[in-house]
Structure 1
Amino acid sequence: MNKIDSSLYLSNQPKNRAPSPNLGKDEFIKILMTQLQNQDPLNPMEDKEFIAQMATFSQLEQMMHMASSIDTLVHNQLVSPVIQYSHMIGKEVTYESENEKTGEKSIVTSQVVAVSQKDGWAILELDNGEKIYADSVLKVKEQQLKEGENDE
């Protein structure tokens, strides 16, 4: 490269390099190759060390992949609770209710009229005016038709 070409090349390079917080397989291989190239020829790295480093890297890579898979699973589980529980609209649910004043518990049945969410949790809105978490439901059944009502 002549002087003009090299200055053009250097001027097109990023001014500030930011180190990557993640080390991947390629970075590990580069470090390992550098280590092998720069080892003392009279005292080379033993096979056991090399194999141990590769095994450690392999375990780390598997753990990172597993963490990524778990993140994906958690994300998929947190698909909108509104969508997950929308099938509950129109159903009768039975749940345990506690009177705030007396602390007395009773079993209540009411129809789900809407589903909302709060902090990633499904909230069932009932026709009796109460809102309950979906996981507090004890029983679900189709709504019973009252006498004189037609199922049209």
Structure 2
Amino acid sequence: MTKISEDLMLSNHQAKTKQTGSNILGKDDFLKILITQLQNQDPTSPMQDREFIAQMASFSSLEQMTNMNQTMQQFLSFQTESSLLQQSQMIGKQVTYETETVDAEGNKKIEEKEAVVKSVLFEKGSVMLEMSDGTKITSYQVIKITDQAK
């Protein structure tokens, strides 16, 4: 008769854990903790219904917050793309824009400049207009838009 070694038993087997490098518990981690808690509860005093319902409500809230976060990330991505496409209509237009400079005494001075929009790009988290003189500005600095004189 073949004898089964104790080191082959499931209770003696150590599961390999995957380290993600994050200290944040996600919805899968929360569910694993809840299942482990249910498996290891004392049969003489099982978890109260209220406790279980509260934990399930917490799990549901966590899942919905995670889904909302993903949706917001997608929304922000679409907003950026939309803004880039809208601003691309400015290419080739003559614009007047404001720039802030500091004079020799340290006083702030607002100057108006004119240039043709050469390109539109996404830089440092916002949509920028690159002018024909090499200056990069935001659309908030633009005060006038005209067709380029031919």
**Which band: TM-score by shorter chain?**
0.5 to 0.7
Letter of the structure 2 residue corresponding to residue 63 of structure 1:
M
The CA deviation at 1:98 is 3.2
Question: Percent identity at matched positions?
Answer: 37
Aligned pairs for 1:2-151 (under 5 A) are: 16-18=16-18, 23-24=26-27, 28=31, 31-79=33-81, 83-102=85-104, 103-127=108-132, 129-143=133-147, 145=149, 149=150
Aligned structure 1 segments of 4 or more residues deviating by more than 6 angstroms:
none
In 2 relative to 1, CA 112–37 (structure 1 residues): closer, same or farther, beyond 3 Å? closer
* Count of residue pairs brought into register by the alignment: 132
Contact 2:97/2:144 (8 A) holds in 1: no
Give the letter for the 2:88 counterpart.
S
CA 1:51–1:16: 2 relative to 1, 3 Å: closer
Pair 1:94–1:17, CA change in 2 (3 A): same
Whole-angstrom distance in 2 between the partners of 1:17 and 1:137: 53
**What TM-score results when the alignment is normalised by the length of structure 1?**
0.63
Alignment CA distance shift 1:125-1:26 (3 Å): closer
Residue 116 of structure 1 contacts residue 122 of structure 1 at CA under 8 Å; is this kept in 2?
A: yes
RMSD: 3.4
Task: Could you tell me which runs of 5 or more consecutive residues in structure 1 were left unpaired when the two chains were aligned.
Answer: 4-14
Q: Indicate conservation of the 8 Å contact 1:80/1:120, yes or no.
A: no
The answer to whether the 8 A contact 2:101-2:110 is kept is yes
